[in-house]
Amino acid sequence: MLKRIAALLMATSLVLLLAGCSGKTAGNQQTSSTGQPQKKIIKVGIGLNEKSPQYKGLEKFKEMVEKGSNGRFEVQLYANSQLGDDVKMMEALRMGTQEMTCPSTAPIAGLSKKFMVFDLPFLFPNEKVADQVLDGPVGQKILDSLTDKGIIGLAYWENGFRQLTNNKREVKTPADLKGLKIRTMENPVHLATFRALGANPTPMPFGELFTAMQQGTIDGQENPLTTIYLQKFYEVQKYVSLTNHFYSPFVFMISKKFWDGLSKEDQELIKKAAKEAGAFQRQYNREQMKQMADNLRKAGMVVTELTPEQMEEFRKATEGVYKQFENEIGKDLIEEVKAEIAKYNK
Ligand code: TK8
């Protein structure tokens, strides 16, 4: 009798154990002991800090998804490269161990070369045109190139026009950049552009940048003014030149493994929130940007505006980069994007 009870107990615990395991394999939808479905967790990681317009956009996204799902989703935000750098986080999305991230297009080049078209120097004339091209058919086609890499690109957000800082001298022309060690994102187009300008570029993840500037292993870097101010780069950099040399879009993306386990309704909810929070983020970013040159001056930086002639020198010096990447990006794609830009730039 005792033996039979023991056997029964063992069998029951085995069943419970198996039930527990299968609960875990079905996405991250788990069932609690009361039979209530537990929240689905969406972990979102970024490199920037909590003051960044990007983080404010993520807070909006969180609110929309949590409210819109009546609390079935919990969106957890991780700033400051806590979950790793952009390349590592994209890898985690592919593996299905992290749900979402929002890198610049530059580090995405390692997964899909098509994104490099947006990294070409002096491509977009202004934000408005960038919005129209990114949110149009070409932008969508490029997002779709991520699907067979295990990632769904949901929406373009804005990092913004990038400006050059350094700790050696005021930069007004490419000649002033000669030999300066400049950190770039991990992207061949960015490297080629800074080589063409006569600088000595080194690729590095964002999380290592501040220390590298502080220790003087690099002389400078390039990022939008919001980042230069909100990440306190003025503590370790003296000069900023308003070069607008690249426009960096962000891509808000989600793990395909996670995505495929969601209902159509939930996919719609997340996609809609990604787009709407993106519209808010772009707006907020642009508002913030207006005060940033002044903030940086007040913080002690020398802010250098370039004359149209000086800007033209930068543009001319980097012109060859387009030809250099024609094969890798695709000549047709470059032409298509240029034509779209011309269409909207009126
Ligand atoms: C942070 C990056 C950052 C980017 C860079 O993850 O690496 O310089 O501009 O904002 O997305």
78 burial (CB, 10 Å; 0-12 / 13-18 / 19+) is middle
Residue 33 counted as domain residue: no
pLDDT of 34 reads 63
Three-state SS letters, 30-54: CECCCCCECCEEEEEECCCCCCCHH
Residue 9 counted as domain residue: no
| CA nearest ligand 1 atom 1, residue | 47
pLDDT tens digits, 113-160 = 999 999 999 999 999 999 999 999 999 999 999 999 999 999 999 999
pLDDT of 27 reads 45
pLDDT of 346 reads 85
Mean pLDDT of 87-97: 98
pTM: 0.90
Task: Please give the Cα distance from 74 to 317 (Å, whole number).
Answer: 48
pLDDT of 37 reads 73
Taking the CA of residue 47 as reference, the ligand 1 atom at the shortest distance is 6
In the chain, the amino acid numbered 37 is P
pLDDT of 343 reads 97
Residue 4 counted as domain residue: no
The set of protein residues with a Cβ atom below 6 angstroms from ligand 1 is: 46-48, 86, 103-104, 159, 185, 206, 223, 227, 248
Residue 176 counted as domain residue: yes
Structural domain count of the chain: 1
Residue 318 counted as domain residue: yes
Residue 20 counted as domain residue: no
- Ligand 1 centroid vs 334 CA: distance in angstroms? 24
- Ligand 1 centroid vs 267 CA: distance in angstroms? 27
pLDDT tens digits, 233-252 = 999 999 999 999 999 999 99
Q: Which domain holds residue 241?
A: 40-345
Task: Please give the Cα distance from 317 to 118 (Å, whole number).
Answer: 18
Residue 237 counted as domain residue: yes
pLDDT of 258 reads 98
- Ligand 1 centroid vs 271 CA: distance in angstroms? 23
In the chain, the amino acid numbered 163 is Q
pLDDT of 24 reads 39
Residue 28 counted as domain residue: no
> What CATH number does the domain containing 207 carry?
3.40.190.170
DSSP letter assigned to residue 26? S
